[in-house]
Each structure stands twice: as C-alpha cells, then as structure tokens.
Structure 1
C-alpha cells in the first residue's frame, strides 16, 4: 500500500480548492468548541458549564437530524458552489455574533443556527467530492479529507488553548468567523457545481423519502449504516466516560486525559491514510466490518486498563471508528448515481447522528450508574449489535457486491 496514493486527489485542481476551503473552516471549528467551553464557564459558572455544553451538543444533533435530509435534496437541485458559499458566510455571521453573547440562552440560539447551517453544508460538501473527482476516484479524496479532519482534532484544541491564553476566549470566535470568510471566498473560486439530472418533477418531500429509502434498500449501504450504530455506541462511551476513568478511576489529571484522547485521534488519522493507501484492493464492507469489531472490542477492557493501556486501546478504537465511518462515505458515492447523491448524503447525515442521539444517553447512564463496568458493558452492547447486523446482512451484502469474501 502506498500512503502517497491518499494525496493523489490533490492533483485535481477543483478538489484541491474544495479541500483547502474545508481545511480552513475546520481550523476555525476547532477554535469554536474550545471557545464555547470557555464562554459557558464565563456565563454560567464552572459548575454549570458541563450542563450548558450538553444542551449545546443536543441542539447540534437535533439540528442535524431535522435539516440534513432536506439539505441533501436541495444540494441535488441547486448550484452547490452557491450553497456551500452561503453556508460558510452564514456561519461566519453566526460565529461573529457569539463574540457578543452575554446570556446562556443566546448561546443556545446561536449554536442551533450554526449547526442548522452545518446540516446544509456537510451533505452538500460530501456529495460534491465525487462530483469533482468522479466516483472511481472518491476513495483517496474522502480519505485525505478524513485524515485532515482527525489531525486537526488532535492539534486544534491545543492551538485554541494557546490563542485563548494570548487573546482571550471571545477572540476565538472572531478568528473562526475569519476562517469561514476565507473558506467561502475559496469556494467562490470554483466553477458552477451542479449534479447532472433531468427535469425535476418530484416534490422535495418525495426526494427526502427517496434519500432514506436508498439507504435502507441497498444491502451494503444498509449494512454500513447499521455498523455506524456500533461505532456510535463505542464512540459515545469514549467521549463521555473516559474523563471519569482518567480522573476518578486512575486519579490522574487533565494532561493525561488529553494524551488518551490524542491517541484516539491519532488512531483515526492513521486509519484514514490506510484506507486511502489501500485503494480498491480491500472491499469497503470489509473495512467497515473490521472497524466495528475493533472499536467495539477495544473498549471492553477500558475499566481496568492503566494509562498506557488506555492510550494503546484508544488508538485502536480510533482506528476502528474511522474504518466504519470513512468507508461508509465512500460507499455512498460508489453505489449512488450522481443525480441522487445529495439527498442520500443528507439522509445518511441525519440517520448517523440519530444513532449518536441514542448512544449518548446509553453512555451517560452507564457512566453514571455503573462507572466501574461502563466500558465493558458498552463494549458488549456494541458487539451484540455487530453480531446481529452481521448475521442478518452477511449473505445479502455478498450477493449485492458480487464478492464471495465480502464483507
């Protein structure tokens, strides 16, 4: 496998502009979430800041589930360059207003608006990748975007913390607004981006239903979507209970928590590069099945591991998470015709976040009521779901893909 294959997508000038626009905006995103945590502590006090953040995350998922199916339909019907630019500039305005927020309710309103715009942006951006590189070259393009996202997830919070110390927490929102401005201007350098399709004689509601129907009637795509539930269960445990294990169980501090979560992000980054380097030699459904197994199994011993063990197993969990989510994005491109990709990505964005809306309360219950066994029980639940999906879909996926060894 050649890791440089992952970067081959940048030889396409249209994708390169799209990629750099996404990267600029994601640097700003890293600033936003650190700024939000600091702003919550300022407005509500340190004791209530977690509650404020929890409500903000709930509003985030709610906006995604409500708006992304419609957003995907609109992406199929309009010039995506215009849609992407409007979303960037809209988020610039909303984040700019966060600089002036003086009450918690204002934070809630602005975060809902921000994520409503993100719900329109993300499916359109995902559907645009195969549009500019072609379905056959989508794997390295998605892999590079994923690797960059994961890498920024590692270095972004540290950069945000440094800038907050130098400039103040609210300055992070101003910098993020500038990142969206820059990303929007880069998008405007692209030519018109519109999916090829004939005259549209269906209602938007019919297209919303069609997007979801396409997810569930195609066995490999349905298999991937259900495996994302496995990843959501394991991922929710990692994101919500790791801090309890580090600070409560191991009696360590914030620095050690950062190391463990950095290992998790590093695993996802390396996994992205591996998917891109593998090219088409490994079926996507095999990556997805292996990833679900790895991330579910990796959290099983989490209640007993010391710091070094947690870092190693969380790195593996990050690999598994990525090997479920990244190949699924590519699978959607390869198994959906261009004219329907927007609504399919929109429906997928909603359903995949609905899994997290289920997984977060499960993780919260286990972490609160059964903290000494939370990772083990969560891992068992994830692997039970995996087993059920495998048993019910294995033969159908093999027939649909025409590969005797898949998934």
Structure 2
C-alpha cells in the first residue's frame, strides 16, 4: 500500500490531506463542546442545525464551484480555499452566540465545498494506474480514520491543559499547512473538450452521475452510510455527557472507537477489492453497519452501556461505514473521462451531502424528543432502504468502461 508514496506529487497531497484533517478533527470535537456550552441538553439540536447548514453549503456551492473549477488553475484554487478556511477557523474561539456559529460554519463549509471535490478529482489524474489509485483510496481512508482516532486523543490531551475553544487554533494551523503542501507541487488541470454554458457546467456532473447505474447504486448506499455516521456525529456528545455522565475527554474516546473501526476496514479493503467486486464489498459493509446499529439499539434498551462498550459498538458501525464508502472513488473514476471528473466528483459530493442534509437534523430531532435506544432503532430502520434499493438498481455485471449513457451526453 505504501509503495504509492514514491510519487512526490501524491505524497505532498496526502500530507496536505492529513494536516487539514487533523485540524478539522480538533474543530469537530470543539464544535460539539461549544454547542453543549451554549445550549446544554439541547446540544444535539444545535449541532444538528449547524451540520445542516454545513450540508446546505455543500449541496448548493459544490456544483457551482465545479462549474468554475474547470476554468481555473487547480493549485491556485485549492490554496486560496485553504486560506479562507484557516481565516474562518481562527474566528470560532470568539463566538458567544449560536447564530454566530451558524454564519461561520456556512462560510467555512462553502470553502470546503469548493476544495474537496477538486482535491479528490486531482488524485486519479496524478495516479493513472488503477491499483495505485486503489491504494491511494485506502491511504485516504486511513487518513480520515487516523484523524478520527488520533485527533480525539490529541484533543483529549490538550483539553487537560487548555479550554476547548483553543482547539480551533489547531484547525487554522492545519489549513495553513495544507496550503503550503499544495503550493509545493505542480497539479494537472484537465481542460474540457469544448466550452459549455454555465448551466451545462453546473448540472452536467449530476446528469452524468444519475445516468450511470453503478453510481445510482452508490447513491443508495451513501444514504445508508450517511445514516450510520449521522447518528455518531450528532449524538455522541449527548450520549457520553448526559446518558453516561462522563467528561469532555470521554467524548473523544467514544469518537475514536468509530475511527478505529473505520481504520480496520481501510486496511482490509485493498485485498478484498482484489478478490471481490466493488458491489459485493460495499453492500456487505452496508449490511454489517445496519446490523451493528441495530444491535446497539437492543443493548441500549436492555442494559447500561459503559464507555468501552460504547466505543466497541461505534467501532463496528465505523467498520461498516468505511467498507461502504471507501471504494466510491474507483466507481467515479471508471465512470468518467478525465475532463469530467471534477464535475462527477462534485456530483457525488453534492448528492451524498444532500443525504446528510436530511439525516443530521432528523437524528438530532429524534434524539431530542426520544431516548437513545429509540433513536438507534429509528436510524436502523431509516438506513435499511438504501441497501434494498442498491440491490435492485445496481447491476451484478458491472462494466469497467464509461457507460453508453455518458457517451451519449458528450
């Protein structure tokens, strides 16, 4: 897996991803604690609303950013957006009102909506061999997982000495370091084959995406994965602080369980994807995640749960989540030509976050009005249709070539 690091450009891009994710991880924990500090027991509702605003920014801004990305220098665009994110992050420690959180989150995530799809679409242009790209996807997943595992541990250590709002400064430093690593390498910026109008460029990625059967199946599984992660992200702070009555650092430990399970899946995926079709691996991961969250509902209803027990349950959910979504880059790459990748990666970014746009406030509302066990049960039922739909609409025989529908749209 590590052999792909011999490529300097990718090595720098992975480094940029790692440092930015570390900063983002600190901000995620600090944001949850900020919501609890401002709203107390209603923190799930506040955090769910903040994350909903984040999803609105992603859904609205990503297609617009993709429309302009193909006309801009990719490296300059990524560096500028990193610096915007850093500037917003250092404003968060000074927040005193809930509405200020909402405004800053919208600006921060609007910048991320432009940055992330363009960054993801750059990797297959740098790594043109599919085996190298598969290794890069696993390394990227590991970067996310190590952030989920190490950032909470780092946050827990820092919280012994500083207040939670100081963690936002680490976020700003992470984005600055990311900008420096991106600017240190030359990046390919594929040009479209012909000039298109703004409407065509804005909607093309989604139209190409929805014309491809395997990508429609990916969207269905994304709904399931988003349900799993929404439960963890929105409600962990309330479960740990209110249900278990534990400290701020315990929140980080519980979230580390989710990251650890996801990391185990990332280690296993390269070999699994060599032996089995992407469809089989992703469907199996989604089913495992649904079983894990369903088991969590039963256990919460039947007995008291310790912090260690919670971390183990969250690790199982994390494993299913990672196995479901990590191979998605392979599907997107083999379904697109180079000039269309930014648009189609942006379409996946937009459509996947549309799922979270629904699920973040929904899980926050359910948690606020019912018990933890009931919320886990409801989220199990909500996750299941994604697998059912994917089984029906994703063909078993999945061609690697760009689909005929996509060719017809050229």
Same-fold status (TM-score > 0.5): yes
Aligned match of 1:398:
397
Q: Taking structure 1 as reference, are residues 55 and 139 closer, same or farther at Cα in structure 2, changes over 3 Å only?
A: same
Instruction: Give deviations 1:25-84, integer Å, cap 9, x for gaps.
Output: 111112222333444556x36456554433321211111111011222333332211111
Unmatched 5+ stretches in structure 1: 403-407
Q: Taking structure 1 as reference, are residues 59 and 293 closer, same or farther at Cα in structure 2, changes over 3 Å only?
A: same
Instruction: Give deviations 1:66-105, integer Å, cap 9, x for gaps.
Output: 1011222333332211111111111122222334445443
Matched, 1:109 2:103: yes
Q: Taking structure 1 as reference, are residues 150 and 192 closer, same or farther at Cα in structure 2, changes over 3 Å only?
A: closer
2:35 & 2:375 partners in 1: Cα distance?
28
2:312 & 2:94 partners in 1: Cα distance?
42
Matched, 1:145 2:144: no
Q: Taking structure 1 as reference, are residues 374 and 46 closer, same or farther at Cα in structure 2, changes over 3 Å only?
A: closer
Q: Taking structure 1 as reference, are residues 108 and 234 closer, same or farther at Cα in structure 2, changes over 3 Å only?
A: closer
Q: Taking structure 1 as reference, are residues 35 and 240 closer, same or farther at Cα in structure 2, changes over 3 Å only?
A: closer
Aligned match of 2:350:
350
8 Å CA contact 1:64–1:349 kept in 2: the answer is yes
Instruction: Give deviations 1:128-185, integer Å, cap 9, x for gaps.
Output: 1111111522111111011111111122123124334434444333332222222111
Aligned match of 1:405:
none
2:263 & 2:365 partners in 1: Cα distance?
29
1:209 & 1:189 partners in 2: Cα distance?
32
285, 289, 292: which one aligns with 2:286: 292
2:28 & 2:240 partners in 1: Cα distance?
21
Q: Taking structure 1 as reference, are residues 227 and 188 closer, same or farther at Cα in structure 2, changes over 3 Å only?
A: same
Aligned match of 1:385:
386
8 Å CA contact 2:44–2:235 kept in 1: the answer is no
1:45 & 1:385 partners in 2: Cα distance?
33
8 Å CA contact 1:135–1:333 kept in 2: the answer is no
Alignment of 1:334-373 (within 5 A): 334-367=334-367, 368-369=369-370, 371-373=372-374
1:349 & 1:126 partners in 2: Cα distance?
10
The alignment's TM-score, normalised by the length of structure 1, stands at 0.87
1:117 & 1:73 partners in 2: Cα distance?
15
Q: Taking structure 1 as reference, are residues 162 and 125 closer, same or farther at Cα in structure 2, changes over 3 Å only?
A: same
2:100 & 2:196 partners in 1: Cα distance?
38
Aligned match of 2:173:
178
8 Å CA contact 1:69–1:208 kept in 2: the answer is yes
Instruction: Give deviations 1:237-258, integer Å, cap 9, x for gaps.
Output: 3444556666777x56356665
SS in 2 for 1:253: coil
Aligned match of 2:19:
24
Aligned match of 2:185:
190
Q: Taking structure 1 as reference, are residues 77 and 134 closer, same or farther at Cα in structure 2, changes over 3 Å only?
A: farther
Give the CA RMSD over aligned residues: 2.7
Aligned match of 1:253:
246
The alignment's TM-score, normalised by the length of structure 2, stands at 0.86
1:97 & 1:110 partners in 2: Cα distance?
8
1:279 & 1:184 partners in 2: Cα distance?
32
2:214 & 2:45 partners in 1: Cα distance?
39
1:151 & 1:127 partners in 2: Cα distance?
22
Alignment of 1:40-59 (within 5 A): 40=35, 44=38, 46=40, 49-59=43-53
Q: Taking structure 1 as reference, are residues 245 and 84 closer, same or farther at Cα in structure 2, changes over 3 Å only?
A: closer
Unmatched 5+ stretches in structure 2: 300-304, 402-410
